[in-house]
Amino acid sequence: MLDSFVTTSAQLIGFPEDVFRFLFAFIVEVPISIICRYIPLSTDMKYLIYGIIGIFISFFVYSTMTYCVLITMIPVYLIMKYVPTRKGAYACFGISLGYLLTIHIKRMIDNYLGYDLDFSSVQMVLTIKFTTFAFSVCNAQDKEYKCSEHTEKHNIYNYPSILQFFGYTFFFPAFFSGPSMEYTDFVSFIDMSMFKEFNNKLPPINMKAVGTVTLRLILIIVFHLVSIKCSIFEFCEYYILGHKEESTCWFKLLMILLYVEFIKLRYYFVWEFGELLSILMGFGYSGMKDGETTWEGFKNVDIWKMETSDSVRQIVSNWNIQTERWLRYYVYERLNQNKTLAPYKSLLTNMVSAFWHGLYPGYYIAFGTMTLQQKFQYMLYTQVLPLLRNKYGEKSIPIYLYHTFNYIYTPFAQMYCFVSFVLLSFSATFTVYSYTYFIPHIIALSGWMYLSYFPVYKKPSRQETVETKPKEVSTGSPATKETTKSE
């Protein structure tokens, strides 16, 4: 009966059946999340009920693929229970990422370059969940590992029962779209210890935050419907993938920019909906500010910062935020403390990120292009900007032109990276790049190489700084050092 409803409704709306199931599950989670706020449950019942709801919804969306969760869930739980060491954590990391790779390979074999909804997105979230869990258990026992403030905060000192781990794994608002959440954050929500300002009681729903996220969702839906009604994707693909002679290079670059902007709406929708659920249910709570509750704990994208960034680095920091934190705290930092692997920490972190996304060539082209663009803009930040500041002053026209260039160039650099992420194949990506004469590549590569070999600004040495420092200090306050913000 339910299958008949899904089939009929999907045909009526004009959506593929798998997409309709996914969206319908999202909609159903809204009232469930609100209801769960007001049902007085013990902590153990919360673990059980929230997990069971997650399983039911997963079977509705993914059918028997839900059983695949057990393939990594059970080994991770048992390994870290009996081997809470680095070896155990590395084994869990290998099992989780290895199984994810097999799913990516199967997806490529079954539907190469296809976009049908499959279980890989869920397994991607679970990979982050299980690996952060494993390292958090390991860090709590490993006295030699130097934890950062973030990892120290999320260390797991009391190993969970199988019921707690079950609830964490299948926690329904965070199961489908992600992002992943730390185990300690999940537990602090279940036992209400995260709400210290409210005497460990759930605060009322922040309707202002709900309204803000809802407005963003409405705008995303409207823009997406406009793109469908106006055949934006077909129009852009007509020019960027073919018909080279019918448009100029610059027009194609504009089409790529438009194409990527509308593609991003899909990601924005999923992550904003997840943020809405976190506010309605309460687990996205992140403290108080100016007398109001804040809800940044489950935020996975900052759309405003994304769309107004003046550097690729800012875009990376505000896109898929929770995954970026996973890579930073549980991959990069661990590699940095390994004497053998530390010299290759950036390369290996990028490789893990690429493997996590999949095995299509487009992913690796995207990360390579993004690295090049970041290096170029970093050279601008450390070479050109200081030169202009010293020569013309902070509020001069050259400084204004520098920032204007970055604000204009960054969206094009972003879309040039992201387009291969969408097209996936090498041939399609090469076609797009060749039709636009590799202009962003050439700008970034030539700029980076020139500023690397012919630096236009030399940072004053410590000795030069001391020699030029005034001998008399008018105040008794300690001297402060001006540090340069790293891009």
**20 exposed, middle or buried (CB, 10 Å; 0-12, 13-18, 19+)?**
buried
271: closest CA among 304, 303, 317, 223?
Answer: 303
Q: Is the pLDDT of residue 418 over 60?
A: yes
Q: Provide the percentage of residues in the chain whose pLDDT is more than 70.
A: 93
pLDDT tens digits, one per residue of 258-280: 899 999 998 999 999 999 999 99
pLDDT tens digits, one per residue of 389-402: 898 888 889 999 99
Within 10 A of 354 (CB to CB), how many other CB atoms are there?
A: 17
Return d(Cα 44, Cα 243) in angstroms, integer: 61
- Answer whether 366's CB lies under 8 Å from 421's CB: yes
Q: Is the pLDDT of residue 483 over 70?
A: no
- Residue 390 phi/psi, 5-degree rounding, is -70, -35
pLDDT of residue 76: 97
Put simply, whether the predicted model's pTM sits higher than 0.85 gets the answer yes
pLDDT tens digits, one per residue of 88-124: 999 999 999 999 999 999 989 988 887 777 788 899 9
Q: Per mean pLDDT, which range of 57-61, 337-341, 407-411 is the poorest?
A: 337-341
| pLDDT band at residue 462 using 50, 70 and 90 as cut-offs | low
The more confident residue out of 429 and 233 is 429
pLDDT tens digits, one per residue of 2-17: 778 778 887 787 778 8
Considering Cα of 107, then 320, then 178, then 259, what sign does the dihedral take? negative
Q: Is the pLDDT of residue 467 over 70?
A: no
pLDDT of residue 144: 84
Q: Per mean pLDDT, which range of 38-47, 57-66, 233-242, 468-477 is the poorest?
A: 468-477
pLDDT of residue 232: 80
319: closest CA among 173, 179, 172, 423?
Answer: 179
